[in-house]
Structure 1
Amino acid sequence: MDQPVGVAAPIAAFFATVGFAALAICGFGFTSLLTDTDVLSAPGLGQGSGIAAMILCAAVFAGTEYGAVRRRRYPAAAWVMIATLAAYLVGVFVGGAVTGVDAASAAAVAGEFALSWYALVLALTSVAAAWAGIALHRTRARRPEWPWEHDEDDE
């Protein structure tokens, strides 16, 4: 299976992970602005739950994306999305429990998130970033060059 390789798999997965995190945070911000709601809203929940959820889902995205990039199959982006969304929900629950919110409230907040516009934003950003990482590895991507950087023998 000697296929031409573009960007190395670990680097493609890293760039996809950074892109995912940036897109998700930006998407959450714009969704909050447009809907005039909080990403996670519960009395006493605090910011710890959201931070824990974002860290966990970014870590799960990175791990599953690396596997998807190595497989070189675009449908694997759907599995990355499912794992990332599940990790965010687990992160909300665990982060809520760690910050002192009772388990029922933490589960309710996770359920509310799962049925919100924010879950759609997270799903779309994760599948788009996963697809981009796979494409970066599959294609013969290389650094940009100016015309004068080419050898004259290549003409």
Structure 2
Amino acid sequence: MKRRDDEKLHLEREAISIFVNIYNRNHPVKQRLLYQQEKPDAVLQNAKRQKLGLEVTHLFFGSEEAKMLFGRSQETSCSLESLDVLVEELNKRIARKEQKINGYSHDYPVALLIRNASPVFGMSNILAVKDRIRKPQPYFTHTWFLSRDGSEEWLLKDLNDLIAADEGVN
């Protein structure tokens, strides 16, 4: 159990680091990791000393893909590698995190960071099906989606903005 907790903490810290780097390149008020904890996973602080909770989750097709990526599976491929399955899993993650937010500290606002861990689908795939993504409820200030897209570079989009923009067009 200790090994899993260490891996989870490492994955969260890596996702937070990537998020902070991209966020700070694109926003005038910079963020930094203040500390990691449970519920939410991290607390950031901006240059104005305002705190923001950050709940982190990783998007996989399912538990078998997660085990494969961590080297804990004898399987060599996932049979359900489809964009439909990924979107379904994304929608489940959003709903699950929204259900859990009541147990979080409410001393500061909380944002959700979803890191796409799938090596098969990237940001352009998600953008192509944004109309099928569950609209996040306003429990989180932002629902950030972090993903690669065919290169080593990470991209960051706020799902709230993507879905709102799509709704404005229709």
**TM-score under structure 2 normalisation?**
0.32
Give the greater-gyration-radius structure (CA): 1
**TM-score under structure 1 normalisation?**
0.34
Q: In proportion to residue count, which structure has more helix?
A: 1
Q: In proportion to residue count, which structure has more strand?
A: 2
Q: Which has the higher contact order (CA 8 A, sep 6+)?
A: 1
